[in-house]
Amino acid sequence: MNQSEHLNDIVFPEQLPVDTIQDDVLKDRNIRIGMLRLDLLHPQISGNKWFKLKYNIEAAKKQDAKSILSFGGAYSNHLHALAYAGHLSGIKTIGILRGEEISNPTLDDCRSWGMELHFISRDQYRHKYESGFLSAIREKFPEAYIVPEGGNNEEGRKGTREILKGIDLDKYTHVCCAVGTGATLAGIADSSLPHQEVLGFSALKNAEYLEETIREYTTAENWKLIHDYHFGGFAKKNTELLEMIESFKQNHNIELDFVYTGKMVYGIYQMIQKETIAAGSSVLLIHTGGLQGNRSWQAER
């Protein structure tokens, strides 16, 4: 790292572009779509990741924590962004990884940025929110500031409430995002307008439990979790999804990731074609970044 580089030196755009999506399907139904390009926020700390990290990093500094520890999978966008932010901040980062120890481009980046990686079994990882598990983590890493998986805590949700800042929300009947932990959906619901319908597209299978969890995060009532477009579960995919992502890139010059945003875009087009989204609607899609995760798909090709 160049000695002059620091996280404070990065100037994040106050307002990112909203690209207009135009095609025959939308024209036929008189539906307007804009895509908020959070993926353009930063090459490494992209999308909603920075919004969920910014206040956590601030809190860690206030507590004089020696390190920031968090959790994720082998291609975790969250850990990738955290590792780079820690690298620029001079704060040590620790990643608790689900599954057997491996190397891949995402984890190689994390290691190169100084993140200390610890791999635990998938069974152990399932207990990541339980008090006993967290107590053991705190005992092992007593000087660490702990951030839940995906940045899903009050500091993270405080950041996601800023995602729609500066957007002319009166233009839209619907606001949509992909959902992993629910932190982004909750923040968007909190900052949306009461008359809008906020749609979250779950990237996980059997994620009905998230609805109760999200209700704990927000008092807004204008949101709905869509469970029909997970393609078999987290990070699952098929040819139909991948072909749609390739077609969308060719037609609109926007790359989507297959874990989150690709599934949301597929889902919203399905809902438009099924007329679940009413003719004349104006829809804001939020591109939450995470494009580095496509390296897992590309490695299979």
Q: Which of 32, 35, 36, 20 is nearest to 272 (CA)?
A: 32
Give CA angle at 202 (19, 187), nearest 5°: 65
Q: Around Cβ 58, how many Cβ atoms within 10 Å?
A: 13
Interval 76-103 mean pLDDT: 96
Residues 137 and 238 in one domain: no
Percentage of residues of the chain with pLDDT beyond 90: 91
The string of DSSP codes covering 156-219 is HHHHHTTTTTT--GGG-SEEEEEESSSHHHHHHHHHS-TTSEEEEEESSTT-THHHHHHHHH--
Give CA angle at 286 (192, 115), nearest 5°: 110
The separation between CA 86 and the C-alpha centre of its own chain, rounded to angstroms, equals 18
Interval 79-84 mean pLDDT: 97
CA dist 267 to 203, 235, 263, Å? 11, 15, 6
Report whether pLDDT(1) > 60: no
Residues 211 and 227 in one domain: yes
Interval 41-49 mean pLDDT: 92
pLDDT range class, residue 20, cuts 50, 70, 90: very high
Q: Which residues contact 206 (CB under 8 A, 6 or more apart)?
A: none
- Say if 2 falls within a structural domain: no
How many structural domains does the chain have? 2
List the domain range (segments joined by +) for residue 227: 7-43+160-298
Matching residue, tokens 């998230």: 210
Residues 208 and 189 in one domain: yes
Q: Which of 113, 81, 70 is nearest to 12 (CA)?
A: 81
Can you give the pLDDT at residue 3?
40
Q: Which of 213, 222, 212 is nearest to 191 (CA)?
A: 222
Can you give the pLDDT at residue 179?
98
Residues 241 and 122 in one domain: no
pTM of the model: 0.94
Q: Which residue has the higher pLDDT, 147 or 15?
A: 147
Report whether pLDDT(74) > 50: yes
pLDDT tens column, 30-40: 999 999 999 99
pLDDT tens column, 131-183: 999 999 999 999 999 999 999 999 999 999 999 999 999 999 999 999 999 99
Last residue of a domain, one of 109, 124, 154: 154
Q: Residue 166: what residue type?
A: G
- Say if 1 falls within a structural domain: no
Give CA angle at 226 (30, 291), nearest 5°: 85
Residues 232 and 293 in one domain: yes
Q: Which residues contact 241 (CB under 8 A, 6 or more apart)?
A: 231, 258, 262, 263, 266
pLDDT tens column, 213-240: 999 999 999 999 999 999 999 999 999 9
Last residue of a domain, one of 119, 154, 189: 154
Last residue of a domain, one of 93, 126, 154: 154
Can you give the pLDDT at residue 7?
80
Q: Which of 134, 101, 126, 130 is nearest to 116 (CA)?
A: 101
Q: Around Cβ 143, how many Cβ atoms within 10 Å?
A: 12
Distance CA 4, CA 34 (A): 37
